[in-house]
Each structure stands twice: as structure tokens, then as C-alpha cells.
Structure 1
Amino acid sequence: MLPEHNPSPEATFVGRVWRPGTGPALVRLDGDRVIDITVTAHPTMADLLASADPLATARSAAGEDICSLSDLLAGSTPDAGPDDLRWLAPCDLQAIKACGVTFASSMVERVIEEQAAGDPDRAEAIRAKVGGILGDSLAGLVPGSAHAQEVKNVLLGEGLWSQYLEVGIGPDAEVFTKSQPMSSVGWGAAVGLHPVSSWNNPEPEIVLAVNPDGRIVGATLGNDVNLRDVEGRSALLLGKAKDNNASCSIGPAIRLFDDSFTLNEVRAAELRMTISGTDGFELEGSSSMSEISRDPADLVAQTIGAHHQYPDGFMLFCGTMFAPVQDRDAPGQGFTHHVEDVVRISESSLGTLTNTVRLSTECPQWKFGLRALMTNLAKRDLL
């Protein structure tokens, strides 16, 4: 068993890899073996997840044994070439959506970013002020409830109301487009920071795999790379802060729901994260889905429905309670990434997602998009 990839031998994991000389392949993990199950019936992950029974389809699919997990792990590095064997993000045609400010602790940090206007030097004093006013008033708060309205009134009176608190405790969730279809990176790849940012952090999250009917069919892990200074200057810079080259990592593979792994297991998931820097810096953090303010099913319902359809399905980041405040470079400035940090996000049912931090301008450019995928599949007679 390789904890980086397959934490449960009875689980059904499906993902995508790059096969040298071939291109992207849909795969199933069979123990230590990687099985190519790409066929005309489901040439893409979007097709597989849209099938009537993705679990049965994936389990029964015949395929070709292409390598061991160890081989795949060895090839999946930040410096892998464009035709090297490696993990890809498990999604392909799906939209990549995210819900923000879904945990009380991270909600407070978003308020601090906004009050500090993206300046880390001001964050510590503002954190003390906000914490003194809020205390434990956000614990167990139900968004949109009468109690939430009371908290809002208190904050308004203190001049601390924020758009982040509106989506955190108001009736409407924040749902935004994190990244473009086919732009996410997978296990082992470099994740990118826009070079204008000097205050940033990883965000370890559960990512739901949702089919076109709005049915949640599985889950995986994600790193919603966050530029605190950029978004803190203005929420209107969210797109610039969130969607950059290699700024979204998903993987290593999607665990499909079955009798032993359901949405209830997702609701109870405990994420762990470590950051290891070449400067000797080490940081550990966690994010407990049991403390989320909005149920994952509600987040999906606010994303898809009569108001918005996703004919290719979508991947949905559920948010994180992780907001690092441990000082790294100077007292009072909290945490920020250094280039070559290694980020590991783990969950016992889903494995570990590992990536190395670099600047977006130094990560491999995103060149294989939807047109390239369709052309590749057509040449392989899969369309």
C-alpha cells in the first residue's frame, strides 16, 4: 500500500495519467497497479462520472496494465517533461468551482486580510481586535439564521462588517470559478504563485466530483492556492488571486462513493497538511470538515440547479478552515510561501496530494486544453 495514493484496498479510485507517446488516459487503481480503462464508451473522466453508475462502470471496465504506482510516483515530479509518465489532475471536461469562507476560522482571516488591505504587517493588530469582538460568537453559527443576523448587527455597530462575513454567515454561499477545465495540475507537479504576491498560502480542501445531474459521485483532495495580499486589497481581484498558471492542484485520484465511503465520510473528514521549506521551516495544519458552516450537499445545491447547469459536471472545492498565522520571515507577518516549499495534504480515506511551490511564471505553461484533448482522442479512435 502506498499512502501517497491508495489508502484503502477495497476503495475504487479513478484518475488520469499521461502515457508517453499516447497522451491522457483514464485509469483505475488495482492495488499497486495502474490500469488504463480509456474506451469509446467513456474516453474522458466527465463521461465516466456521467454514466448511470460510475462505480459499477469503473469496477467492471477491462483495461491495460500500464505501470505500477511506484513507477507513476517516480515520474510525477515538478520537472517532468511534457511526454513523461505522470499523474494528471483526475478531472478533464468538468468546470472547476470553489466555495469560499465556509469555515468560521478562515472567515475571520478573510476579514483580517480585507481590513489590512493585503498588508501582512497590519494583520496581527487587526487579528487581536477582531478576535476580541467576535470571541466564540461564530462557533456553531448557522448561516442565514436569526443568530447570524444578530452577529451581523454587532459587527456593523463596530464598523467591522465585511463582504466575507456576508457570504460566511449570510444565506448565500460564495461560489466562484477556481480554474478552467483542463488547467489543474496533479500529484507531484509544481503549483504556482503569481509573482506579484508576497503573502500567500496553500488551502487544503476536499473536492467533490459532481455529475451533470448534480449528484455527488466521489471526492478527492485539492490545493486552492491562495494569494492573501492580492485578494485582501480588493475582493474584485479574486480572479487574479485564484486563477493563474498551476494555481490549482487536484488529486491524486477520485474515490468513488460506495457503501463504505459516502458523503457522510466526507462530512467527517480530517485533513492534515505539512509544509516543508528548503530553509528548514516546517508547518503543520489541519482542517476538519465537521466544523464546516455549510453542509457539502448545500454547497452543491447552491452551485447547480434550475439557476445554473453543468452539462460536463464539475469539481467543487468545499473550502478550508486552515489559515496559517505562524510567523516565518518576520515577527507579526505570519506565514507566506517560499519557492520550493513542498506541500502535502492528506486524508485517511483519500490518500495524499503532494506538490512543490514555484512561481506561476516558472511552472510549465498550460498548453494542452480541450481542443488538444479532442484532437488526441479522435486520433486514437476514441471519439
Structure 2
Amino acid sequence: MNERQFTVAKFIDDTGSVRIGRIDGNQLFPLTPTGSVKRLIDIIAADDPIGTASSLATESPVAIESVGQWLPPIDDQEVWAAGVTYKRSQTARMEESEAAASCYDRVYQADRPELFFKATPRRVSGHGQSVRIRKDATWNVPEPEVTLVISPAMKIVGLTVGNDMSSRDIEGENPLYLPQAKCYDQSAALGPWITLYDQLPPPAQIQVDLKIHRDGQIVFDQQTAADQMARGFEDLVGWLGRDNSFDDGAFLMTGTGIVPTSDFTLHPGDRIDISISGIGTLSNTVVQG
């Protein structure tokens, strides 16, 4: 039997209403809500998310390019993140903080992963919206991450593209500053939509591409794949759910395998494009202040 997949999005229509829709090729099909399925969270929380989404009536399609505003595909969920899950991330974290290098080395090899709270929904940007770099930081980078869409039953039901914005100089000064380096307004981006899966693709097929544009030029371009992770998706979700419940489900950014070198920092006006195979491209413009 062929495994099913279904792509759902959140957007604002021509009347200014928040809607959900299905992505099929280059078209968006608005979905007609029902009494029990009005928001993306209702689909994610269903016993059969793909079946639930497929059961909704569709309206006349519109071209993806004509959609005026995409919203992050999140409702009431928390966003969490994992760290030091790729070898490149381990190396970068050790480089940025000599004093804490050993703790990053240990967590890369430990049974228990690094997990931290990343964002509330209002701090999350969607496709085409802005992400922020801190005014009190001088070394700011995006972290492109495969992001798990998790149901209230702690089941992985889909994937989206995530950007874990980070102030590396703040975190490098003292690991206890990590919440300030990671958690602030517009510090996270999700989108452009969610791809629901019966079964996730093999990690080697989940390719991640980061491009940063500045003044019409690509100033950073690097790729990785999820099979470079030292930990599995299910393992991370298992740790996240220990003594922790998520009535609305959660999003879990799974760490980055792409880290710009220490001589690179984001500038206001930069455009960050993160593409993940099977999902799409999340684009955001950098602002400061």
C-alpha cells in the first residue's frame, strides 16, 4: 500500500479571514471547516490527520504565488528545540564557548539530549514574514532545522521547515544565557506549511538547504541531510514527553547540521531561504530593533 501524505497550510484570504488549505502542486485549495475541524490543530490532533484533512471539502483553487499572506502553521502549540544533534553543531558550540566546550561534547554522546523551550506561538514567524536579530548581539545566525509536528498523543504526524534564530556570542559568553540567545520576539520561523505523513521518509531523503541572500548576492550556501543526525526523531520525542504533557501537541526543531563559520553574521535586510525536500522553502527577511 502506498503511504499517504497531505500538505496543509494556514493563510489569510482576500477577505482578511484566517483559513486553512491544501497545497497540491502550485495551487492552494481552501478547505471548508466543519463543526469539529476548524483549525490546523484539529487536524494534527485527530486519530487520522490525513484522513481528517482529506474529508474536508475544498473550494476553488488559487495559485500559490497569489496568496497575500502566509501564516506560520501553528495555533496554540509550544515550540521546543533540540541541540547538538549533528556533529557540525557539536563542533560549532564547542568553538563558540571554550569554557563550556566539554559540556557540549558530553551531551553529543550522552543518552539524554539537549532539549529547550524555544517559542510561544506569538513569537513565531511564517513564510514571507520577518525574523529578528537582537540589538545586544553581534554574532547572529539562522539554524535550519527539520521540525517535527507532534500530536497531543506525542505521535509524529508531519514535518515542517524551522529556523531557530540564535545569538551565538551571547550563548558563547555563558551557557546559562542560552534562553536569551534563543528566545525573543521573532526568534523562530515555521513554514511554509506542514506535510502530513503516514510514515516519515528515510532520513537520507530529508535534504536541508540553506541560502542567505544579501544585496542581490548569495553570501552563504550549504546543505545537509537528516541522516547526519546522531539521534533519531522518535528518540527526541520520547525524551520531550518524559514527565511533560502537551495538550495541544508541540513542534520540535531537531537541531542543525549547518552552522556558518565564526566570521559570518546576519545583517538587517538579509533574506534567509531554508528548503527541505518534500516540504518546501521557508523564506524570511532579517530585521533588527
Q: Would you say how many aligned residue pairs link Structure 1 and Structure 2?
A: 285
Answer yes or no: is the 8 Å Cα contact 1:33–1:65 preserved in 2: no
1:107 is aligned to 90
Question: Which SS does the other structure have where 2:125 is aligned?
Answer: coil
CA shift at 1:216, angstroms? 0.5
Q: Is the 2:11–2:19 contact (alpha carbons within 8 Å) kept by the matching residues of 1?
A: yes
Structure with greater strand share of residues? 2
Partner in structure 2 of residue 19 of structure 1: 13
Change (3 A) 1:340 1:61: same
Verify: 1:355 aligned to 2:284, yes or no: yes
Summarize the alignment of residues 209-224 of structure 1 with structure 2, pairs less than 5 Å apart: 209-224=149-164
Find the aligned partners of 1:299 and 1:176 in 2 and give their Cα distance.
12
Equivalent in the alignment of 2:248: 312
Q: Deviations over 1:107-140 (max 9, x none)?
A: 111011111x7xxxxxxxxxxxxxxxxxxxxxxx
- The alpha-carbon deviation at position 164 of structure 1 amounts to 1.8
SS of aligned partner of 1:65? coil
Note the 1:1-383 alignment, pairs <5 A. Answer: 11-37=5-31, 38-65=33-60, 67-72=62-67, 75=68, 86-115=69-98, 162-258=102-198, 262-266=199-203, 268-278=205-215, 280=217, 282-305=219-242, 307-325=243-261, 333-359=262-288, 361=289
**Any conservation in 2 of the 1:267–1:296 contact (CA below 8 Å)?**
no
SS of the residue corresponding to residue 273 of structure 2 reads strand
Alignment partners' CA distance in 2, 1:93 and 1:252: 17
* Runs of 5+ consecutive residues of structure 1 not aligned to the other structure: 1-9, 76-85, 118-159, 326-332, 362-383
Q: CA deviation at 1:11?
A: 4.7
Q: Residues 271 and 347 of structure 1 are in contact (CA less than 8 Å); yes or no, is this contact kept in structure 2?
A: yes
Greater helix fraction, Structure 1 or Structure 2: 1
Q: 1:196 to 1:49 in 2, by over 3 A?
A: same
Q: Which stretch of structure 1 is more off in the superposition, 15-24 or 287-296?
A: 15-24
SS in 2 for 1:162: helix
Task: Look up the equivalent residue of 1:301 and give its one-letter code.
Answer: G
Aligned counterpart, 1:365:
none
For 1:188, what is the secondary structure of its paired residue?
A: coil
For the residues of structure 1 that align with 2:191 and 2:71, how far apart are their CA atoms? 8
- Hey, what's the Cα distance between the residues in 2 that align with 1:335 and 1:201? 8
Deviation of 1:170 (Å) = 1.4
Aligned-pair RMSD on alpha carbons? 1.9
Report Cα offsets for 1:15-65 as digits up to 9, x if no partner: 211235443222212333323323331222221111110001111211333
Q: Which AA in structure 2 matches 1:269?
A: I
Distance 1:20 1:196 in 2: 39
Which protein shows a greater Rg?
1
Alignment-mate amino acid for residue 124 of structure 2: S
In the alignment, which residue of structure 2 is the partner of 1:377? none
Cα distance 1:235–1:23, how it changes in 2: closer, same or farther (>3 A)?
Answer: farther
Instruction: Tell me the residue number matched to 1:6.
Output: none
Distance 1:23 1:269 in 2: 33
Consecutive aligned runs of 4 or more in structure 1 exceeding 4 Å deviation: none
For residue 142 of structure 1, what is the aligned residue in structure 2?
none
Unpaired segments of 5 or more residues in structure 2? none
Q: Percent identity?
A: 32
How far apart in 1 are the matches of 2:60 and 2:245?
A: 36
The answer as to whether partners of 1:269 and 1:289 remain within 8 angstroms in 2 is yes
Normalised by the length of structure 1, the TM-score is 0.70
| 1:225 Cα deviation after fit | 0.8
Evaluate the alpha carbon distance shift between residue 59 and residue 163 of structure 1 in structure 2; reply closer, same or farther with a 3 A threshold. same
For 1:203 and 1:316, locate their aligned partners in 2 and report how far apart those are by CA, in whole Å: 13
SS at match of 2:247: coil
Measure how far apart 1:181 and its partner are.
2.5
1:325-383 CA-to-partner distances (Å, cap 9, x unmatched) read 1xxxxxxx511111111111112211111111111x3xxxxxxxxxxxxxxxxxxxxxx
